[in-house]
Structure 1
Amino acid sequence: MNSIPIVPQTVNEPVLSYAPGSPERALLKEALARMSGEEIEIPLIIGGREVRTGNMEAQTMPHNHGHVLARYHKAGPNEVRQAIDAAMEAWKEWSRWPWEDRLAVFQRAADLLATRWRPILNAATMLGQGKNAYQAEIDSACEFIDFLRWNTNFAQQIYREQPFSGPGMWNRLDHRPLEGFVYAVTPFNFTAIAGNLPSAPAMLGNVAVWKPAQTAVYSGYYIMKLLEEAGLPPGVINFIPGDPIPMTDVILNDRNLAGIHFTGSTAVFQTIWRTVGEKIGSYRSYPRLVGETGGKDFIVAHASADPLALSTAIVRGGFEYQGQKCSAASRLYIPESLWPTVREQTLGMLDKVRVGDPADFRNFMGAVIDRKAYDKITGYIKHAHEADDVEVIAGGTYDDSTGYFIQPTLVQVQNSAYQLMCEEVFGPVVSLYVYPDAQWEDTLRIVDKSTPYALTGAVFATDRAALLQADRELRNAAGNYYVNDKPTGAVVGQQPFGGARASGTNDKAGSILNMLRWISPRTIKETFAPAHSFEYPFMGEK
């Protein structure tokens, strides 16, 4: 076919409201009732085949940990090797598909998700990961759809990138996939990330071995079934939930490892990086390491800040999805002159926050993801209750009798170096430090140096000079930096996401920068009239 395809025009998926009486609300309610009333069995999917190992584990609802949603089979070393073999076999064909045919698979997946699959994946995310309807909609529907559509656009831009050709020659770039497989390790907190990490490399002709978080196998399975219905060939993405340490050990010892696409903890990613470095001579090529890891995200306010906008950002940025976002506001720096007003407004909002079952649409917050998270977060709260010069001014209570529920907790500290101002909590606990207005510059330096992370951050001010000063001092403190807005809610194609320092490699999911990591360009020079003599003109005289 003699044509140069153009992918469909890309726009961000509209966020549905789920307001009372809306059709999307009715569809989601129906899906929640139906899916919560059944217990499914989830196999591995290797080379397009369902594999059952008999080594099974249950996934329960965070808000009702006695309710089993699914029992899933776990991969062992043999199944991991089978998945690698299946991926490498699929690579032979998939890497040679015309790029427009590959991208069409993911465009179809986006359209399926925007319609018939929308209530299914949203319900799975609400039931299995504890998100409310709005948080699920912006994640498992809109953001995942945006990844699927925008990444096809970015892939097309890459393929269009070609070099200049001088006289008598034609220079070309062959944007090859990596030679091997990509290991995708995905988190529980964003269904969109779970879908994006294996699918973004696959768009460019790569193949993937995908290990979903054990607390998000339920939604991960539905992602896999969505991609299969969209026409993804067997073996291109292999779905293998299981225990991470033995699985990763097999992966990192395989010579065909070509890349790792990771979202998770800083400590785990650093361990993976260290292991790859130790084994670097055993791989076919240098593996691409792409990771988004921890964060200790900040809001810092100047005395000129709008108090109501600041208070709203604290509640939304700190407590949406129980503070279990990589980008969630976790530490606040507020000037003395604003604190009385901000305190009153923030506490007033928190008094109205309902915590409970996400199927009850009146609830703003649900439960934290599992027992391990609950114990860690409540440990920080207990320490805050007992510590000197620390005051729990909101929340501070919790109950795990039915679900892993923790009330939104706001803690005021007298020491800006207190552990809650420096360590990642990953839960609904926000700490704040009130500083003298005259110490604005010093406070900016404290914000920059208090943690090893640099993921997201926000500054609130109406004084333009203060904003300029904050921008200079905090330039390296956050990969996603917000001015007069909460530090969460990055949109694909608009705010590419990722941080540096201990927060990751900053390869910016939701942009062409991430997609460029999954190609290995080959330069081709064709000469139309090649030379017939080795001699050059300068050799004519002694």
Structure 2
Amino acid sequence: MNNAVFRFAVPRNEETLSYAPGSVERIEIKAELDRQSSQKVEIPAIIGGREVRTGRLGKVVMPHDHGHVLANYHKSGQQEVAMAIESALKAKAEWSKFSWVDRASVMLKAAELISKKYRHIVNAATMLGQSKNAYQAEIDAACESADFLRFGAYAASYIYEWQPSSGGDCVNRVEYRPLEGFVFVVSPFNFTATALNLVASVVLMGNAVVWKPATTSLLSNYYLMKVFREAGVPDGVINFLPGKGSEISEVVLKHPNFAGLHFTGSTDTFTGLWGKIGQNLASYRNYPRIVGETGGKDFVLAHPSADVEELVTALVRGAFEYQGQKCSAASRAYVPQSLWGRVRELLVEWTEGLSMGDVRDFGNFVNAVIDESSFDKIMGYIERAKSSADAEILAGGFGDKSKGYFVRPTVIEVKDPHFVTMEEEIFGPVLSVYVYEDSAYEDVLRLCDETSPYALTGAVFAKDRDAIAKAYDTLRYAAGNFYINDKPTGAVVGQQPFGGARASGTNDKAGTHFNLMRWVSPRTIKENLLPPSHWSYPFLQSD
């Protein structure tokens, strides 16, 4: 038995490849895109290491070419959910006995597989199935996935090495037990890395999971499942269940051994799941851990001292990269009157100049939104702006879903800072701008803080340090990730721990020990080296 006290060192972030013309990675990813475009994958449920084909089929299509079917998947029902729970509980009994170093080593192998052998596979699947361009797929599916796995091992070291002090007559220690039961993982479509981390962080700490992936990211998530298995995660530790979320959760949340929920998705869905957990609370063996990252209505607030080109660059990238389908995307902006003329001119010019189309054309900055319901929702907000006297469309304002779900990047100037597109999450390429009088900067800071129920990300642009300090203080609870002179997207694992509060989630900071601590149940152990042999104390004796 290896009894060394071991600690994983601080890792380096995965290097981002450029995919520039003539580069090796550009040639290789294009070949992989061609390969995946020319085949139709069959995606089963995977329960206890066994592929389960229910015969109840659904389709995975390209959002930018929705007539092209990439895969057929087998929908899980109540029977498969029950099998998955049983499998998870059985596998967890053995997996939890592994040394944490061994579990972390499996995760590090998964990181190497994603970084090298599977890099172009998961990137291409993310591009085709989730309509991300090559750069957005690279920073997500390859780089952030590898970073989550490597920094997870490091963060686990941080947890496991802490122990309480011991007195002269006793030895005190803490055991970090996995949760008692199984964990339900519900992952979103927009980040492949998020799906991976929702599973990996729980499994790393010795737990077993029932995983419900988003239907619109099934292709990339299926390849992630292959990576986990090849890395050495034992059968049954991760159970992969494509299907309808409401049907799967109906079974999961009634089980007495339900121990936790790890979730990323809409605020409404998270609130609904939390409510159902509350209704079933008396039937659980333990109070479940609930960890969630949900929506955002993320802001960029400019002071009159801001640099115009830096500000507009942040607005265009922050609002329109990945079609605004990042929970951190810039969705509302507050711009001073003195800057608005130049900001408007440049913002409209750059937005109208953004190329849009198929991900396989590397010249496209913008691609399709994820599905028809998303397209219809986004266009609904745009139509409301068109018909309102309180809003003016400055750029974009139209869409086409005949072949792909394409929405033109849209900029709306609003007269009312409480106009619907300033307050409600749209999750698409729509940026609303409110122009304020320069003298009202401090009032606008308070307005920004009070406008939205969300508190995920936000940015302030200013050269004036006093203005920055005022924003920093006033907006203290308005964003879990706060940026100074930078766009509110693009948090890097190990550098900007990600998460927000209010209606944006539980702020447990994915990729850090804060999150990993939610998936263990510490047990304190005291050994008395010299136990007392009588009940009496000295103070009881007579003088």
- TM-score by structure 2 length? 0.99
* 8 Å Cα contact 1:182-1:198 kept in structure 2: no
Q: Which residue of structure 2 aligns with residue 386 of structure 1?
A: 387
Letter in 2 for 1:187: P
| 2:534 matches 1:541 | no
Structure 2: how far apart are the matches of 1:122 and 1:408?
24
Structure 1: how far apart are the matches of 2:352 and 2:297?
25
Q: Which residue of structure 2 aligns with residue 232 of structure 1?
A: 233
Q: How many residues align?
A: 542
| 2:503 matches 1:525 | no
Shift of residue 352 of structure 1? 2.2
Higher mean displacement: 6-15 or 224-233: 6-15
For structure 1, list consecutive stretches of 5 or more residues without a partner in the other structure.
none
Shift of residue 61 of structure 1? 0.1
1:37-48 correspondence runs (5 A): 37-48=38-49
Shift of residue 541 of structure 1? 1.3
Q: Which residue of structure 2 aligns with residue 181 of structure 1?
A: 182
Shift of residue 272 of structure 1? 1.0
Structure 1: how far apart are the matches of 2:429 and 2:147?
27
Q: Which residue of structure 1 aligns with residue 497 of structure 2?
A: 496
Shift of residue 102 of structure 1? 0.7
Structure 2: how far apart are the matches of 1:383 and 1:285?
47
Structure 2: how far apart are the matches of 1:68 and 1:286?
42
1:263-274 correspondence runs (5 A): 263-274=264-275
Higher mean displacement: 402-411 or 21-30: 21-30
Deviations 1:394-424 (A, max 9, x none): 0011111110001100000111010000000
Shift of residue 6 of structure 1? 2.7
* 8 Å Cα contact 1:61-1:67 kept in structure 2: yes
The residue matched to 2:338 in structure 1 has which SS? coil
Shift of residue 389 of structure 1? 2.7
| 2:309 matches 1:341 | no
Letter in 1 for 2:426: V
The residue matched to 2:377 in structure 1 has which SS? helix
Q: Which residue of structure 1 aligns with residue 331 of structure 2?
A: 330
* 8 Å Cα contact 2:298-2:328 kept in structure 1: yes
| Runs of 4+ off more than 2 Å | 5-9
| 2:295 matches 1:305 | no
* 8 Å Cα contact 2:10-2:151 kept in structure 1: no
Structure 2: how far apart are the matches of 1:426 and 1:177?
35
Shift of residue 351 of structure 1? 2.8
1:135-284 correspondence runs (5 A): 135-284=136-285
* 8 Å Cα contact 1:129-1:216 kept in structure 2: yes
The residue matched to 1:97 in structure 2 has which SS? coil
Q: Which residue of structure 2 aligns with residue 361 of structure 1?
A: 362
Q: Which residue of structure 1 aligns with residue 291 of structure 2?
A: 290
Deviations 1:263-300 (A, max 9, x none): 01111111111111121111010000001111100000
Higher mean displacement: 530-539 or 504-513: 530-539
Structure 1: how far apart are the matches of 2:476 and 2:150?
31
Structure 2: how far apart are the matches of 1:176 and 1:522?
7
Shift of residue 540 of structure 1? 2.0
1:31-70 correspondence runs (5 A): 31-70=32-71
Q: Which residue of structure 2 aligns with residue 456 of structure 1?
A: 457
| 2:100 matches 1:99 | yes
Q: Which residue of structure 2 aligns with residue 16 of structure 1?
A: 17
* 8 Å Cα contact 2:352-2:396 kept in structure 1: no
The residue matched to 1:337 in structure 2 has which SS? helix
Shift of residue 156 of structure 1? 1.2
The residue matched to 2:139 in structure 1 has which SS? helix
Structure 1: how far apart are the matches of 2:304 and 2:359?
37
Shift of residue 348 of structure 1? 2.0
Deviations 1:479-499 (A, max 9, x none): 110000000000111111111
Structure 2: how far apart are the matches of 1:352 and 1:37?
32
Structure 1: how far apart are the matches of 2:534 and 2:24?
76
Structure 1: how far apart are the matches of 2:533 and 2:23?
75
Letter in 1 for 2:170: M
Q: Which residue of structure 1 aligns with residue 353 of structure 2?
A: 352
Deviations 1:137-181 (A, max 9, x none): 010011110000001111111110100000021100000000011
Deviations 1:194-230 (A, max 9, x none): 1110110100101100000111111110000011111
Q: Which residue of structure 2 aligns with residue 482 of structure 1?
A: 483
- TM-score by structure 1 length? 0.99
Q: Which residue of structure 2 aligns with residue 432 of structure 1?
A: 433
* 8 Å Cα contact 1:411-1:431 kept in structure 2: yes
Structure 2: how far apart are the matches of 1:86 and 1:226?
19
Letter in 2 for 1:512: H
Shift of residue 43 of structure 1? 0.3
Structure 1: how far apart are the matches of 2:275 and 2:227?
35
Letter in 2 for 1:530: P
Structure 2: how far apart are the matches of 1:476 and 1:524?
38
Q: Which residue of structure 1 aligns with residue 109 of structure 2?
A: 108
Shift of residue 9 of structure 1? 4.4
Structure 1: how far apart are the matches of 2:223 and 2:390?
48
Structure 2: how far apart are the matches of 1:2 and 1:51?
40
Higher mean displacement: 348-357 or 119-128: 348-357
Q: Which residue of structure 2 aligns with residue 467 of structure 1?
A: 468
Letter in 2 for 1:197: L
| 2:3 matches 1:5 | no
Structure 1: how far apart are the matches of 2:468 and 2:158?
34
The residue matched to 1:215 in structure 2 has which SS? helix
Higher mean displacement: 359-368 or 384-393: 384-393
Letter in 2 for 1:32: L
Letter in 2 for 1:298: F
Structure 1: how far apart are the matches of 2:470 and 2:10?
39
Q: Which residue of structure 2 aligns with residue 126 of structure 1?
A: 127
Structure 2: how far apart are the matches of 1:299 and 1:9?
32
Structure 1: how far apart are the matches of 2:512 and 2:365?
30
Structure 1: how far apart are the matches of 2:410 and 2:511?
32
* 8 Å Cα contact 2:59-2:73 kept in structure 1: yes
Shift of residue 51 of structure 1? 0.3
The residue matched to 1:291 in structure 2 has which SS? strand
* 8 Å Cα contact 1:295-1:453 kept in structure 2: yes
Q: Which residue of structure 2 aligns with residue 445 of structure 1?
A: 446
Letter in 2 for 1:493: G
Structure 1: how far apart are the matches of 2:472 and 2:158?
31
Deviations 1:316-340 (A, max 9, x none): 0000000000000000100000011
Shift of residue 8 of structure 1? 5.1
